[in-house]
Amino acid sequence: MFDLKPLSKEAIPKAIDRAKQYRQLNQPWHAESICRDVYAVDPDHQQNLIILFLAITDQFVNDKHGKSMQDAEEIIDKLRDEYQRDYARGIVFERQASAAIKRGGPRASYIAYYHILRALEFYEKSAKSHPDKNEESILRYNTCVRMVEEFDLKPAPDDDGSHGTLGE
């Protein structure tokens, strides 16, 4: 049908700026598309990988088949910095919690609670290796604590403590 047109290496900085703009405009699909074009030219561009990851996780609420989660995990594995990988995994679980709350349903708050628990684990881990003067993981950790309080998130009454499956 149609073929994608390749991006030149010289266009990468402006493309990344454009992807950031689309994320700010709450148009993550457009940001993701641009980042995928950059990825096709430079699959190791770390800034692009981070923006691509964020654009993908911005769309978790609309993901019915788990493809976004798989895509996010693949991107995380390409990040070189351990701090960034742990921080990104925290974001994955935090955004999964937010998506569960937004989607609603009979067990949504329980599902969100367990996602928050995982996010807190990764934010704690990343806080131990954060770069100087970068305490983003502490800010995200505190956001998760506030989510638990704001939405009165608790473990499911039938929780056996295994946390193996969330019943999504």
pLDDT in tens, 74-105: 999 999 999 999 999 999 999 999 999 999 99
Yes or no: say if 90 and 98 are a contact pair by the CB < 8 Å rule.
Answer: no
Query: Do 105 and 61 belong together in one domain?
Result: no
Reported as a single tens digit per residue, the pLDDT across 3-25 is: 999 999 999 999 999 999 999 99
Q: Which of 60, 79, 98 is the last residue of a domain?
A: 79
Tokens at residue 65, please?
């088949």
DSSP helix/strand/coil, 45: coil
CATH of the domain at 17: 1.25.40
Q: Domain span at residue 25?
A: 8-79
- Separation between Cα atoms, residue 39 and residue 41, nearest integer Å: 5
Whether residue 69 lies inside any domain: the answer is: yes
- Separation between Cα atoms, residue 154 and residue 112, nearest integer Å: 9
Whether residue 24 lies inside any domain: the answer is: yes
